[in-house]
């Protein structure tokens, strides 16, 4: 239903030139010849032989790295890099290995550091449960 903009105060939905625009001819129209090289869209649920192609293998190193960088050590141990350097200033950090200008921490060094931190943690008695009283 057409509304007059003078009465409603709204702009008309369709412009005057909308009816004059030409539509794109349909592919089955005799004006356009079908392209034999065109890719046909597939409908969901429709199976085709090309959709069953093998997935490309994931590239990457099959062997995990043999040591941590400081950033990966911090991520693996759920600590921030700032806290790592705070531990380093207190001489409580794991043994570092320097290769050129890079700093690494071996897995063995990280394991020894975890054991040392675990031993340094004071043991507390378990609190008595209210049911035992």
**Span between the terminal Cα atoms of the chain, in Å:** 82
| Residue 96 covered by a domain | yes
Global pTM value: 0.48
Asked if residue 30 belongs to a domain, the reply is: no
Tell me the C-alpha distance between 66 and 52, whole Å. 38
Number of domains the chain contains: 1
The secondary structure element, H or E, covering residue 66 is: none
53: three-class secondary structure by DSSP: coil
Within a domain: 29: no
Name the residue range of residue 111's domain: 67-120
Query: Could you list the pLDDT tens digit for every one of the 133 residues in the chain?
Result: 566 777 777 776 666 555 555 555 555 555 556 666 766 666 666 555 555 567 777 676 677 788 999 999 999 999 999 999 999 999 999 999 999 999 999 999 999 999 999 999 988 877 676 665 5
Residue 95 lies in a domain: yes
């Amino acid at each position: 239903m057409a509304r007059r903009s003078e009465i409603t105060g709204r702009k008309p939905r369709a412009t005057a030139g909308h009816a004059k625009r030409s539509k794109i001819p349909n592919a089955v129209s005799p004006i356009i010849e079908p392209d034999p090289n065109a890719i046909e869209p597939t409908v969901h649920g429709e199976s085709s032989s090309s959709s069953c192609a093998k997935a490309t293998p994931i590239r990457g190193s099959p062997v995990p790295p043999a040591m941590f960088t400081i950033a990966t050590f911090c991520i693996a141990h759920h600590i921030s890099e700032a806290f790592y350097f705070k531990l380093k200033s207190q001489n409580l950090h794991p043994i570092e290995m320097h290769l050129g200008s890079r700093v690494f921490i071996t897995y063995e060094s990280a394991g020894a550091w975890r054991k040392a931190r675990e031993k340094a943690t004071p043991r507390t008695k378990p609190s008595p449960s209210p049911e035992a009283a």
